[in-house]
Amino acid sequence: MAELESVGVLEKKYSRRTFIKGVIATGATVSSASYIVPGPNGLRAATVQSSTERLITLRVNGQDRRVDVLPHETLAMTLRYKLNLTGTKLGCDRAECGACTVLIDGVNQYGCSILTHQVRGREVTTIEGLEDADTGELSVVQQAVMDEGGFQCAFCAPGFIMSMTAMVNQNPNVTREEARHALSGNLCRCADYDKILTCAMRAAELARSV
Amino acid sequence: MAERLVGADISPPDLRAKITGRARYAEDFRAPGMVFMKLLLSPMPHCRVRNVDTSRAMALPGVIDIMRASEVGEPSDRPSEEMLTDEPKYEGEPILAVAAVDEETAAAAIELIDLDLEPLPFVLDPLDSLRPGGPNAYVGGNQFSGQDGWTEYKWSQAEFDAIERGEMPNPLDMPVQWEKGDVDAAFAEADYILTEPVVHQSLTHHPMEPRSTMAYWENGRPFVYVSTQSAQRTKMSMAGALDVDPEEMTFVAEYCGGGFGSKIPGHTHMALAPRMSQKIGRPVMHRVTRYEENYIGRARPGFQSWVKMGFRADGKVTAIDLIIVQESGAYGASDYNSAANIADLAFTPENMRFRGVSMYTNTPPKAAQRGPGGAQIISMLEPLHDKGMREVGVDRLQGRFLNAPVEGATFGPRNSELTSIHAREALMEGAEAFDWETKIAMSGQREGSKVYGVGFGLSPFTAGSRGYDGLMVIRPDGRLYVYQGVGNLGTHSIADTVRPGAELLGLNWDQVEVIWGDSSRGMPRTSIQAGSQTTHAHTRANYAAAEDALRKIRLVASRRLGGSPNAYNVDNGVVSGPGGRMSFAQVAEAAIQMGGELDGSTLPDTISERETVPAAQRLAGQGLMGVATDNYGGSGSIYSWQSGFALIQLDHETGVVDILEYVGWADCGVVIHPRSLNAQQLGGSIQGMGMAMTQRWVFDSRYGVPFANRLYTARPPGFHDVPLQMTAGAVGIPDPQTPIGAKGIGEPSVGAGAAALNMAVMDAMGGNCLCRTPLTPDIILAELEGRPGPWNRLEQLVG
Ligand code: FES
Ligand code: FES
């Protein structure tokens, strides 16, 4: 009987899984596995309870910022929840989408997949750091996006803009094909890819004329 | 002369905020004393919570409280979704919520909760539930009606025997069925009949921004910050969920990182954070992770279908017989109905039979996804239509032209009419932009192991609605402030729907201020942001308000300057006529002095009393108010059309498809914002390509657990999945039934993109229709090599 069989299958599965002990008979700890990703060091939430924060200095957008950081804390979390730099987005928290992209010493990296402690002494740039703080002038990439009306919902935009920034800094003569490759670590669910590439080419053009 | 606003590329006013990190999405808001909430998700696809012991969790330092299902809903045996449940119907359904001082403590507390669960039978594939004696998704059965409660709907063994033999089953008394014309007679007379089973996968929406919420209460009033497609409509549903007066709530939805149908009037779990906050008396952040988004974030329902199509020798489709078994998830969906209507509309068979059943399954909940029903059926039927053209020897494009509807066409069981149809123009102008003649000559040509394929699709979807309100004020600074209740979901419609009205008032765009996303500033009665209705509905509503403002401006001028009101004209923020001229700033001042209807102190009785009146009352006395309901009327359904053309290369050694070129062409009336229109067309088309090829809806059928539960495994298209350069354009013929002439376009593109790709793959396989999605290399290779795949032809849940 199909119904009974499916129940039996479940029983086997859940009694086998080591972190669930005897769900059916006695009740047990169930992992919903739904919460924050353990992070690259694989720490689980229950074990991090005992870990302690340490006060460190970060160099973010040209400023020294003093902040208490857990050993396993990701840069994206520190930026968003401790430094109130919420321009860096979390789309997946697991190196799948690029919404969290920031620059570390000018190189684009996923902020969700790098530990805050790893960037001590390094130059961190976020989307908030691209505008000229004094004049409000946009960076060439931001200006290019304004010119071309880039993005739809724009949740991916900060990440893309950071990747584009690294790209044009490295090679202002980038071709459309190369730009696609350089930006392929970022995902746009609205799939505004065509316009994003047009923005990238405009950014390269502006970068060349600076 | 003020600039033309309609038809110009003007970046939306929120773009600078979006690209400097200032735009605040729901998870970007903070409040003093804010704590975090996490959900405990069901580890089983169907079970009953026998007991929960929270004592160890509550003892953990930092844990504040736990909320159970009984606190947020009544247990019921209806298939209605609650925020939390003690009888989860899918793996990942939230059972309870924990609030703690930080997110990690909340997560750790969830680890410490002792759950005693009773596993229940479950089913993933609808056909399993249709089998005699097969399992049901609910204890009571697999069909529910208010009248009869739970019942079982099963097919007889004879249907499954027919399916085994490769025939179309002939189930009687399906829950939904309609017929028009004489289908059997039409098949009897047909020159060619094609019968195919077709499988369309289900797929998760996965908007880039997960559905996080932040909320707090002050003095008994809620403040909520959400991610939603709509604003005013979501405000109303949130007020209902919290049981508060909507005007007592501050509702903030300034930005939304995509919804695609999954966040239309908000979503079920949106009210959890405000409920928890109400319970514990502290601000609550509910940060939804990608993993959770996979479960509670909605998915498009898949179809298992049989299609029989009759053709005349000249290529005319004369009959369609369509059966759809819909994978409706834990709480139901209705895509199959629109799919049937759109099949009738898009191919004009004149004789059509539809039989459908919506099957509950123990998979994550389904909801409208961009072009619901329409996208699936166009993606499924275009390749079959193409196959028919090959069989009867009619040119593929000409045959599609022949079967596309023209002005006056009716469709569906009620023979619905449309306001305008320019499907054929969209098809042929798209073909021209694609350079059809050159491309079709490449079809089937080989380069090493790679074969060229050409495909296309012609896809309709709803594109408008009528009767909403517009609200605007010209203030003493001389600027026009337009109050929008539409959501900011990435379509730019918060701004673009303002343009025709602003143009009527002779304003330059820098004289216009759009106010959106914050209910405390005033939101009129507004449509939901779904069904691509916003462009049509709110260009009209704002135009109505602008006409009201224009009338009042002329009234003020004639009272101050003399002469007849109608002798006054507006341009560049100035009204001028026989008695002289006044700036809009002076007009606004005068309106405030004159009061009455001019500054909104008295309001028309045609506007929504419940929604627009309170919004207008907030703004009364601040300037000259334009406020009105769209009374332009009209008859017939409002649909837009999208054609899509793809050139691909299929590698016969690897099964990998490379999409080389894509062209999209729209019939959506007057074009308001060309660049944004093209982005909608191409973005939607790419989502369609994802639906056809890259995305996955894969389950472990033994345990009822989804494998494709993250972006990497669910695979929305990335940069390398799409052509380097794409083209889009529009027919541009105004819809005669709306003063602006514009219709929406968000949705038909999905079906066009998917159909073009499906058909192109078929073309590159010499006309062999796989008739299933996703078109993964594995599936394509198995077919090319003539070996059976490791799946049943009709199986859902593989990819
Ligand atoms: S949030 Fe870091 S890659 Fe997605
Ligand atoms: S614009 Fe929405 S995800 Fe890129």
As a three-state string, the secondary structure of B340-358 is HHHHHHHHCCCEEEEEEEE
CA distance B153 to B141: 8
Global ipTM: 0.97
How far, in Å, from the CA of B289 to the mean position of ligand 1?
A: 11
CA distance A194 to B374: 24
Inform me whether the pLDDT recorded for A32 exceeds 50.
no
Any B CB within 8 A of A21 CB: no
Q: Name the DSSP letter for residue B662.
A: E
CA distance B54 to B71: 15
Of ligand 1's listed atoms, the one at least distance from the Cα of A113 is 2
Which one, of B700, B720, B798, B705, lies nearest residue B291 by Cα? B705
Q: Give the number of the ligand closest to the Cα of residue B255.
A: 2
CA distance B334 to A94: 34
Please report the pLDDT score of residue B799 as a whole number.
Answer: 65
Q: Give the number of the ligand closest to the Cα of residue A191.
A: 2
Instruction: Return the C-alpha torsion angle B673, B675, B681, B683, nearest 10.
Output: -130
Given an 8 Å threshold on Cβ–Cβ distance, is A6 in contact with B121? yes
Domain ranges in chain B with CATH number 3.30.365.10: 299-464+636-784, 465-629
Any A CB within 8 A of B289 CB: yes
Residue in chain B nearest A97 by alpha carbon: B711
Q: Name the DSSP letter for residue A111.
A: G
In a 3-state reduction of DSSP, which class is residue B631? Answer: coil
Report the gap between the CA of A57 and the closest CA in chain B (Å). Answer: 22
Report the gap between the CA of A109 and the closest CA in chain B (Å). Answer: 17
Please give the structure tokens belonging to residue B624: 């000259």
Instruction: Return the C-alpha torsion angle A142, A145, A150, A156, nearest 10.
Output: -20
In a 3-state reduction of DSSP, which class is residue A9? Answer: helix
Inform me whether the pLDDT recorded for A46 exceeds 60.
no
First to last CA, chain B: 58
Report the gap between the CA of B18 and the closest CA in chain A (Å). Answer: 6
Please report the pLDDT score of residue A210 as a whole number.
Answer: 83
B115's torsion region: left (phi>0), alpha (psi -120 to 50) or beta? Answer: beta
Specify the amino acid at residue B361. T
pTM over 0.90: yes
Inform me whether the pLDDT recorded for A42 exceeds 60.
no
Nearest neighbour of A177 by CB, restricted to B680, B702, B724: B724
Report the gap between the CA of A104 and the closest CA in chain B (Å). Answer: 18
Instruction: Name the phi and psi angles at B155, rounded to 5.
Output: -90, 160
Any A CB within 8 A of B208 CB: yes
CA distance A34 to A45: 11
What is the secondary structure of B478-519 as a DSSP string? S-EEEE--S--SSS-HHHHTTHHHHHHTT--GGGEEEE-SBG
Find residue B628's DSSP bridge partners: B470
Given an 8 Å threshold on Cβ–Cβ distance, is B121 in contact with A33? no
How far, in Å, from the CA of A63 to the mean position of ligand 1?
A: 24
Which one, of B791, B44, B43, B532, lies nearest residue A33 by Cα? B43
Inform me whether the pLDDT recorded for A26 exceeds 50.
no
CA distance B292 to B332: 20
Determine if ligand 2 sits within 6 Å of the CB of residue B490: yes
Inform me whether the pLDDT recorded for A36 exceeds 70.
no
Residue whose structure tokens are 């017929």: B179
Given an 8 Å threshold on Cβ–Cβ distance, is A6 in contact with B20? no
Residue in chain A nearest B254 by alpha carbon: A153
User: What's the average model confidence in pLDDT over A161-183?
Assistant: 98
Which one, of B776, B768, B778, B772, lies nearest residue B796 by Cα? B772
Set of chain A residues whose Cβ sits within 8 Å of the Cβ of B719: 180-181, 183-184, 186, 193
In a 3-state reduction of DSSP, which class is residue B758? Answer: helix
Set of chain B residues whose Cβ sits within 8 Å of the Cβ of A20: 43
CA distance B652 to B655: 5
Q: Which of A155, A163, A186, A198 to mutate to test the pocket of ligand 2 (most atoms within 8 A of CB)?
A: A155
Specify the amino acid at residue B219. N
Nearest neighbour of A155 by CB, restricted to B50, B208, B712: B208
Residue in chain A nearest B56 by alpha carbon: A29
Residue in chain A nearest B63 by alpha carbon: A49
CA distance B331 to B298: 10
CATH fold for the domain made of A140-209: DNA polymerase; domain 1 (1.10.150)
Which one, of B287, B255, B288, lies nearest residue B21 by Cα? B255
Cα-trace Rg, chain A: 22
Whether the CB-CB separation of B623 and B475 falls below 8 Å is answered with yes
Burial (CB count <10 Å: 0-12, 13-18, 19+), residue B583 = middle
For chain B, list residues with pLDDT below 70.
790, 799
Of the CATH numbers 3.40.50.170, 3.10.20.30, 3.40.50.720, 2.40.240.10, which one belongs to the domain with range A55-129?
A: 3.10.20.30
Nearest neighbour of A6 by CB, restricted to B25, B135, B289: B135
Secondary structure (H, E, C), A151-198: CCCCCCHHHHHHHHHHHHHHCCCCCHHHHHHHCCCCCCCCCCHHHHHH
Instruction: Name the phi and psi angles at B312, rounded to 5.
Output: -90, 160
Any B CB within 8 A of A9 CB: yes
User: What's the average model confidence in pLDDT over A163-186?
Assistant: 98
Nearest neighbour of B20 by CB, restricted to A10, A13, A142: A142
Whether the CB-CB separation of B616 and B603 falls below 8 Å is answered with yes
Given an 8 Å threshold on Cβ–Cβ distance, is B44 in contact with A89? no
Report the gap between the CA of A76 and the closest CA in chain B (Å). Answer: 12
Helix axes B335-347, B374-392, angle to 10 degrees: 30
Whether the CB-CB separation of B759 and B456 falls below 8 Å is answered with yes
Pairwise pLDDT comparison (A49 vs B373), residue with the higher score: B373
Any A CB within 8 A of B683 CB: yes
CATH fold for the domain made of B31-120: Aldehyde Oxidoreductase; domain 3 (3.90.1170)
Domain ranges in chain A with CATH number 1.10.150.120: 140-209
Any A CB within 8 A of B541 CB: no
Determine if ligand 2 sits within 6 Å of the CB of residue A155: yes
In a 3-state reduction of DSSP, which class is residue B25? Answer: coil
CATH fold for the domain made of B299-464+636-784: Aldehyde Oxidoreductase; domain 4 (3.30.365)
CA distance B412 to B138: 32
Q: Would you tell me which residues 765-794 of chain B have a C-beta closer than 8 angstroms to some C-beta of chain A?
A: none
* Architecture in CATH of B465-629: 2-Layer Sandwich (3.30)
- At residue A21 the predicted structure's pLDDT band, cuts being 50, 70 and 90, is very low
Please report the pLDDT score of residue B790 as a whole number.
Answer: 66
Inform me whether the pLDDT recorded for A34 exceeds 60.
no
CA distance B341 to B344: 5
